[in-house]
Amino acid sequence: MTRAVVAPSYGGPEVLTIVDVDPGRPGPGQVLLEVRAAGVNPADWKTYSGVWGTDPARLPLRLGFEATGVVVDAGPGDHGVRVGDEVLTPADGAYADRVLVRAADVVAKPPSLDWAAAGGLLLTGATAAHTVEATGVAAGDTVLVHGASGGVGAMVVQLVLERGARVIGTARRSRLDAVAELGAVPVEYGPGLADRVRALAPDGVQAAVDTAGTDEALDVSVELVADRARVATIAAFARGGELGIQVLGNGPGADPGTAVRAAARPRLAELAGTGRLRVRVAATFPLADVAEAHRLGMAGGATGKIVLLP
């Protein structure tokens, strides 16, 4: 048996419960992972808060979408993963001591990457890689990134810079230094944002990525970027569709980018392992304090990733 976090009902973080479950034995194409760290993401609380529906047939809900750890058992077949391998992987039900995952999904954990950072890399990193690919970022572009100090936003900034483009990143005043540390030109959001960006980009803005989901982010993006195909949002699904920009992710009508995100994982691990991609870990919590971890994330008080350490 192993501990796992479940939501037996819909509601706030107070519904989260730790239960004992049988992780099962890995079948063909599967491995059993001993979880050392699991990333906390907005998708986790959207799952049980009602944002994505309240179908009682789905209860109880297992939580968590990304993990890192050590392979402790492997199913039959030559799938290239061995017991003892340290890996990163997407994982349904990652908030657990042990979890079954697809062997085809795992990538090797770089030895230089600590467990907490590894646990927070793949979901935000793959989401960011999807936005950069979808908007066609190229060397010499100026790219506007909304929510540049957040988990996904910070990844977008770094991946855009890796392509040789320039980044103007929006954030609240208290987080402007954090944006500058990533190598972006920071700009405070709020009234007059479009004019402030124009002053920083006299040659124009070629692409924009919205990770904040605010009307301001969308309005400024479509005002400044001539080609709406080069504007993407991962948060404002309904309005993004109305504006004719790219809507990416798991929301209604969005492009999930499954193949793009899967292809990005080895490259993300390589960049993180060599220090060219930083995972900012804002806070870590033991599995027993999962509700507190979610409250911190929902309050928007963390600059970087929140990670559970089972």
User: What are the pLDDT digits (tens) for 262-278?
Assistant: 999 999 999 999 999 99
Give me the mean pLDDT over the 219-242 stretch.
96
Give the tens place of pLDDT for each residue, 53-78.
999 999 999 999 999 999 999 999 88
Q: Please check whether residue 50 is in contact with residue 10, taking contact to mean a CB–CB distance below 8 angstroms.
A: yes
Report pTM.
Answer: 0.94
Q: pLDDT at position 282, please?
A: 92
Q: pLDDT at position 235, please?
A: 93
Query: Quick one: pLDDT band at residue 304, thresholds 50, 70, 90?
Result: confident
Residue 105 pLDDT > 90 = yes
Give the tens place of pLDDT for each residue, 194-206.
999 999 999 999 9
Give me the mean pLDDT over the 178-189 stretch.
97
Give me the mean pLDDT over the 242-255 stretch.
92
Give percent above pLDDT 70 in the chain. 100
Query: Quick one: pLDDT band at residue 296, thresholds 50, 70, 90?
Result: very high
Helix (H, G, I), strand (E, B) or coil at 286: strand
Q: pLDDT at position 54, please?
A: 93
Residue 302 pLDDT > 80 = no
Cα 100 from Cα 115, distance rounded (Å) = 18
80 sits in the region (left: phi over 0; alpha: psi -120 to 50; else beta) called left
Residue 155 pLDDT > 80 = yes
Q: pLDDT at position 127, please?
A: 97
Is the alpha carbon torsion for 10, 47, 120, 157 positive or negative? Answer: negative
Give me the mean pLDDT over the 131-140 stretch.
98
Q: pLDDT at position 288, please?
A: 96
Q: pLDDT at position 31, please?
A: 97
Which of 229, 264, 233, 228 is closest to 251 using CA atoms?
233
How crowded is the C-beta side of 143, counted as CA atoms within 13 Å?
Answer: 35
Domains, in order of start, for the chain: 2-121+279-309 (3.90.180.10), 127-247 (3.40.50.720)
Chain-wide mean pLDDT for the chain?
Answer: 96
Q: pLDDT at position 168, please?
A: 98
Residue that wins the pLDDT comparison between 201 and 301: 201
Give me the mean pLDDT over the 292-296 stretch.
97
Give percent above pLDDT 90 in the chain. 94
Query: Quick one: pLDDT band at residue 133, thresholds 50, 70, 90?
Result: very high
Angle (deg, nearest 10), helices 151-162 and 122-134: 50
Residue 115 pLDDT > 80 = yes
Length of the chain as a residue count: 310
Q: pLDDT at position 286, please?
A: 98
Residue 283 pLDDT > 90 = yes
